[in-house]
Amino acid sequence: MPEKISGNIRWGILGPGSIAKAFATGLRELPQAQRAAVGSRSQEKAAQFAGEYGFERAHGSYEALVNDPDVDIIYVATPHSEHHKACLLALNAGKAVLCEKPFTINARQAEEVAEAAARNNCFLMEGMWSRFFPAMQKVRDLLAEGAIGKPMLLEADFGFRAGFNPNSRLFDPAMGGGALMDVGVYCVSLASMFFGTPDRAECVATLCDTGVDEQAVMLLGYPNGSLAHLSTAIRLSTVHAATLFGEEGSLVLPSPWWKPTRLELHRNGKTEEFTYPFESTGFQFEAAEACRCLNEGLAESPVLPIHETLQIMRTLDTLRSRCGVRYPAD
């Protein structure tokens, strides 16, 4: 197990892009999160980000960031085609890692990252932010209480409309483009939280000119008979709602379910509503969990353990193979 870190956790951000800005804004909500350093391929960009978001140091290379002795954990915020390389760089330097979703391009890369974390005795967690919101914790509590009986069917969607640009990360196979990997992963992770690992996985998709999926419908089956019906898109907007049906009721996460502020419990002909408003971007919840784990000397988070992230990546591999999406990294 990693050594416990007492007190404040010193954060470094690798890749000062748009998602890093949202994450850094969330860090401001956590008194125990020290904004220590940011690393970029450009010293100028690193310095600009550090100044704007209150980081103490700016490094003009990723190598300099991961070798900073005054950084405890690295948040990997690069495009997901670079996650594998960035995670290995940080872990092999002995740094804990919180890696933005999707964890990597494929399961092979994910397994290599997990092996590096174990070899270097470092904390590792996927930054699937939807898993850590207070409303989602309430969902898990209600399920543990048996509020809706046995969960049997999940219906969830996540789609948005983007203009087609073959050179953007959304549509470029070399960058892991496509709806499945960009936002479909949220739906697959939600199903994993409820049902575990599927033993059947089907996917029908519409592929764009670059060969990645611009919309997809997924059907996952589980050993206990449960099913998940999921849809995702990057060329059209969907409802962004999720409903979990159980034998004795249902749980509804209204739009946007992946950044939830409320949920509804339907049972016995009655509806009970729970609300969980929050400030800032919402990234503070996953960061708080990482801080807690480092303070306790944990190698992974029990909310999203590494073995589950690996299973999710294997499911995504299967879904992509079913609909014919292949990346150069495969």
Tell me what pLDDT residue 186 has.
98
User: Across residues 197-219, what is the average pLDDT?
Assistant: 97
Predicted confidence band of residue 199 (pLDDT cuts 50, 70, 90):
very high
Query: What's the sign of the alpha-carbon dihedral 182, 183, 188, 193?
Result: positive
Q: What is the pLDDT of residue 9?
A: 98
Q: What is the overall mean pLDDT for the chain?
A: 97
Q: What is the mean pLDDT of residues 48-74?
A: 98
274, 188 Cβ separation under 8 angstroms: no
Burial of 247 (0-12, 13-18, 19+ CB in 10 A): exposed
Q: Does 73 have pLDDT greater than 90?
A: yes
pLDDT of 260-292, one tens digit each?
Answer: 999 999 999 999 999 999 999 999 999 999 999
The residues, any chain, with a CB within 8 Å of residue 5's CB and separated by 6 or more, are: 72, 294, 295, 297
Report residue 320 as tokens: 């992509």
Q: What is the pLDDT of residues 171-180, one digit of tens each?
A: 999 999 999 9
Task: Give pLDDT tens digits for 80-109.
Answer: 999 999 999 999 999 999 999 999 999 999
Every domain range in the chain assigned CATH 3.30.360.10: 134-277+312-323
With the CA atoms of 288, 291, 297 and 303 taken in that order, what torsion angle do they form, in degrees rounded to the nearest 10?
Answer: 30
Tokens read off for 160: 């948005």
- How many percent of the chain have pLDDT more than 90? 100
**The pair of three-digit structure tokens given for residue 328, joined into one six-digit string:** 């150069």
Given the DSSP bridges, would you call strands 124-127 and 151-159 parallel, antiparallel or unpaired? unpaired
What span, in angstroms and rounded, lies between the C-alpha atoms of 315 and 319? 6
Mean pLDDT calculated for residue range 128-153: 98
2 cis-preceded (ω within 30 degrees of 0): no
What's the pLDDT score for residue 133? Answer: 98
**CATH number of the 134-277+312-323 domain:** 3.30.360.10
Q: Which CATH class for the 9-128 domain?
A: alpha beta
- For the chain, how many residues are written? 330
pLDDT digits (tens, 9 = 90+) for 1-36: 899 999 999 999 999 999 999 999 999 999 999 999
Q: What are phi and psi of 255, to 5 degrees?
A: -65, 135
Which pLDDT does position 1 carry in this prediction?
Answer: 84
User: Is residue 79 predicted with pLDDT exceeding 90?
Assistant: yes
